[in-house]
């Protein structure tokens, strides 16, 4: 269960718009091997994980991937 913090994980600074780059970045965020899909897979795979270290690891990695909203923000800003 997550808490939303009103800050990015890492600062983002966009100088110019670039729709072509936006397309590429969107595939990193959404897309077939995108962060969103990966984070959901990490979080779902916890449920059948027998080892506590790995439950913790899958939780933390899945959470980190969910923080990739800077990618989505970059996308919105450079469109």
Question: What does the binding site for another protein look like in residue numbers (CB under 8 A)?
Answer: 3-15, 53-54, 56-57, 60-61, 64, 73, 76-77
- Six-digit token string for 71: 């990618």
Minimum CB separation of residue 8 from another protein in Å reads 5
Minimum CB separation of residue 31 from another protein in Å reads 20
Minimum CB separation of residue 78 from another protein in Å reads 11
User: Measuring CA to CA, how many Å separate 78 from each of 7, 43, 54, 61, 63?
Assistant: 19, 30, 37, 27, 25
Q: Identify which of residues 7 and 20 has a Cβ nearer to another protein in the complex.
A: 7
**How many other C-beta atoms are found inside a 10 Å radius of the C-beta of residue 9?**
11
């Amino acid at each position: 269960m997550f808490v939303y913090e009103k800050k990015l994980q890492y600062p983002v600074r966009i100088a110019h718009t670039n729709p072509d780059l936006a397309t590429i970045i969107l595939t990193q965020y959404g897309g077939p091997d995108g962060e969103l899909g990966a984070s959901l897979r990490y979080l779902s795979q916890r449920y059948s994980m027998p080892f506590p270290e790995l439950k913790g690891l899958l939780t933390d990695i899945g959470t980190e991937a969910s923080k990739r909203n800077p990618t989505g923000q970059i996308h919105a800003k450079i469109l």
